[in-house]
Amino acid sequence: MICSEIMKSEIECVAPTDSAGSAAKKMRDHNVGFLPVCDEHLQVIGTLTDRDLAIRVLAEGRPLTTPVADLMTHEVVACRSTDNLSRAEELMGLFRVSRMLCVDEDGLLAGVISLSDIAQHETLSRAAQILRDVTMREIAP
């Protein structure tokens, strides 16, 4: 199975200049906890999670007007939408992320695969192994 077969392709993005407040509203309105941060060409330059907002805005007492660029995670982990799903699974475990960005042949955002997407399409034992790999971040130093 290739990534494009299970990835979500209708993805909301935020710009690095968007505010924390507008990103939070977008998460609420679309019922997601993860947004790719993209430039005007859909090139992914980072990611923003609901946890990022909680830790980097709420816990630090920053204003909701804080730009996403000051809050986002800059490390981008991605695979190609044409890659075999096993490549996405491998990267998720290696980088301990529960969401994988998929890019097209030009490196532009094509979709996102979440751990729950994999669990719905893979055997439970394979999904359980990926979950163990991803959650190792909670145990590892």
Q: Confidence band (pLDDT; 50, 70, 90) for 78?
A: very high
- 19 neighbors 44 (Cβ within 8 angstroms): no
> Helix (H, G, I), strand (E, B), or coil: what is residue 3?
helix
Instruction: Tell me the CATH number at 19.
Output: 3.10.580.10
Nearest alpha-carbon partner for 35 in 53, 23, 51: 23
Dump pLDDT digits (tens) for 3-44.
Answer: 999 999 999 999 999 999 999 999 999 999 999 999 999 899
Global pTM exceeds 0.95: no
Q: Which domain holds residue 90?
A: 3-138
For the chain, what is the domain count?
Answer: 1
